Structure 1
Amino acid sequence: MTRIFLAGATGAVGRRLVPLLVAAGHRVTAATRTAEGVERLRAQGAEPVRLDVFDRDAVAEAVAAAAPEAVIHQVTALSGGSPVDNARVRREGTRNLVDAAKRSGVRRVVAQSISWAYEPGDAPADESTPLDTAAPEPRATSVSGVVALEEAVAELDEHVVLRYGTFYGPGTWYAPGGLMAGKLADGALPAHFGVSSFVHVDDAARAAVQALQWPSGAVNVVDDEPAAAREWVPALAAALGVAAPEPTEGGAGWERGATNSRARELGWRPRFPSWRTGFAEQG
């Protein structure tokens, strides 16, 4: 059994992750911002704590009280859809969690990052590919947030950065009734040549559990099939019962996807190896 402090426990990944950690026998202190989240986490078998990750003193107190051996950071601002808010979470929220972990003698941190912050290229990126630190705004805001998160996490001797692909599945933008369904209905999701890598939230959660045993470093957690929007947008539209847009030109150089070779070497196997089947099975 490992004592774990999970931040972001009621987000798209966190809500799938808590039952996995509890089932594996871990003692989980799970943080959420809302009273509703507290009740949900208690029902899942975790010890809930209501917490604002931007409240530095409260974060320090909560982590110290939990006395964890590992911190898992799954906090995002995805529900609001703002890159600026998400970058703030990555800079300030991560700083608070890392400092609290260091003061409490935590040995390991596992943190959520992204797999589309790499510099432009013609092939899917691996973990040795540099991040896109020369990107102009507005992309620079997102990339700088990622850099701040990953540098902070690396201050702990044992640290795993999960560079997730684009999430789909329950509770995500790509689920039925989600943000992307609305964009498709409005004709605002282009089917161009830009390449994305996806990961189902269940596979993302399983990677976080396994990362408690992984060596330090960054790991791309993506499915087996990076794909151009010309391929995946029509498939998503079909799965959501929305008309597909006409194919178009375009796509940024950084839209290159990522490879999951490292994650597979570490023993991770996605239940949904391709968005082709995963989109259709979303619930």
Structure 2
Amino acid sequence: MRILVAGGSGVLGTRVVNRLVRAGHEVCATTRRADREPLVTASGAKPVVMDALVADDVTRAVEVSAPDVIIHELTDLASLDFAGNARLRVEGTANLAAAAAAHGVEHLVAQSIAWVYEPGEGPAEETAPLARTADGAAAFPSVEALEEAVLGLRNGVVLRYGLLYGPDTWYAPDGDAYRRAAEGEVVATTAWTSFVHVDDAAEATVDALTWPAGVVNVVDDAPAHVEEWGPRLVAFAGGSVRSISARAEGRTASNARARSLGWTPRHPSWRDSWLEEFGA
């Protein structure tokens, strides 16, 4: 297949591109920075410089790549710019979906997040209600906008990834969350957390090329509360706990649907993986 990976030079996008190239697909991968084109070329993909917030850029990328499928791995989190990332989710996704529709591309696979659910009992399936604020508004409006745009296509697939960990993520020894843990501080977005190893997330993304339209949680088998995983992270980072907190209670997510579609995490538990990565 011809595949356009939007955000193909990022932490997850790079892993997706590598797997697609090895599988024999013809891959174009976008990057916002021209100086990252050699990185994309070295992976075996064709680089396309694109700013997802510029509609003409997105249209040109789709025209150049003429894809059968678009994979959306766009983020803006390298500098912890959450407002910029929210804008990218809304405007960047809208531009991708519009360009796809205009060029007859009906298959779009996009990343979302698994910590969007309203608090409730046990891991949430994909049909569970999404979190709301006290006045009934969406707690994660940019995420809902992203998902709505993707699911508006005939074959739109939304992957609600758990909290990514592993090499190159915030939870790697050179990552922001790990560095803060070394200082004794852990701040979770939601107290109840579902993790997924970044390599498992990449595998699921490639698998999703054959999945039906809809929403799929991509998480490991070991949901946990920040009061469990936070102190462990601090200990691995060599710190002493000063503050463990969360911005909301949240709810963990079930991976039953992903498993029913044939995906199995190679890292089923963050507990075991952290032991392997960080040492006892």
Shorter-chain TM-score: what band? over 0.9
Q: Does 2:168 correspond to 1:171?
A: yes
Secondary structure at the aligned position of 1:38 is classed as helix
- Please say if 1:264 is aligned against 2:263: no
1:219 aligns with 2:216: yes
Shift of 1:251: 7.0
Letter aligned with residue 253 of structure 2: A
1:72 Cα deviation (Å)? Answer: 0.2
Tell me what 1:45 maps to. Answer: 44
SS of the residue corresponding to residue 201 of structure 2 reads: helix
How far the C-alpha of 1:139 sits from its partner, in A, is 8.2
Alignment-mate amino acid for residue 275 of structure 1: W
Separation in 2, partners of 1:281, 1:36: 34
Aligned counterpart in structure 2 of residue 275 of structure 1, from 264, 267, 270: 270
The alignment status of 1:234 with 2:231, answered yes or no, reads yes
Residues 272-281 or 203-212, more deviating:
272-281
Alignment CA distance shift 1:249-1:54 (3 Å): closer
Code of the aligned partner of 1:273: P
Q: Which whole-Å CA distance do the structure 2 matches of 1:45 and 1:249 have between them? A: 42
1:181 correspondence with 2:142: no
Out of 135, 140, 152, the residue aligned to residue 155 of structure 1 is 152
Are 2:190 and 1:206 aligned? no
Matched, 1:99 2:95: no
Q: CA shift at 1:197, angstroms?
A: 0.6
Change (3 A) 1:250 1:14: closer
Residue 87 of structure 1 deviates from its aligned partner by: 1.1
Q: Distance in 2 between matches of 1:106 and 1:28?
A: 15
| Residue type at the aligned position of 1:145 | S
CA deviation profile, 1:126-157 (whole Å, cap 9, x unmatched)? 101111143679983xx100110000001110
Q: TM-score, normalised by structure 1?
A: 0.91
Give the Cα–Cα distance (whole angstroms) in 1 for the partners of residues 201 and 235 of structure 2.
Answer: 24
2:191–2:245: 8 Å Cα contact kept in structure 1? no
Give yes or no for contact 1:230–1:247 (8 Å, CA) kept in 2: no
Identity of aligned residues (%): 49
| Deviation sequence 1:47-94 (CA, Å, 0-9, x none) | 111111111111101101211000000001121223322111110000
Rounded to whole Å, the distance in 2 between the matches of 1:103 and 1:145 is 23
Q: Which ranges in structure 2 are unaligned for 5 or more consecutive residues? A: none
Task: Go from structure 1 to structure 2 and tell me whether the alpha carbon gap of 1:40 and 1:248 turns closer, same or farther (over 3 Å shift).
Answer: closer
Residues 247 and 137 of structure 1: CA distance in aligned 2, closer, same or farther (over 3 Å): farther
1:7-27 residue CA offsets vs partner (Å, 9 max, x unmatched): 011112111111100011110
**Greater strand share, structure number:** 2
- AA partner of residue 230 (structure 2): V
Equivalent position SS for 2:177: helix
Give secondary structure in 1 for the equivalent of 2:263: coil
Question: Contact 2:20 / 2:206 at 8 angstroms: preserved in 1?
Answer: yes
- Alignment correspondent of 1:29: 28
Change (3 A) 1:208 1:232: same
Change in CA separation of 1:250 and 1:105 when aligned onto 2, cut-off 3 Å = closer
Aligned residue type for 1:272: H
The 3-state SS of whatever aligns with 1:211 is helix
Counterpart contact for 1:124–1:257, Cα < 8 Å: yes
Counting matched residue pairs gives 278
Deviation at 1:116, TM superposition (A): 0.5
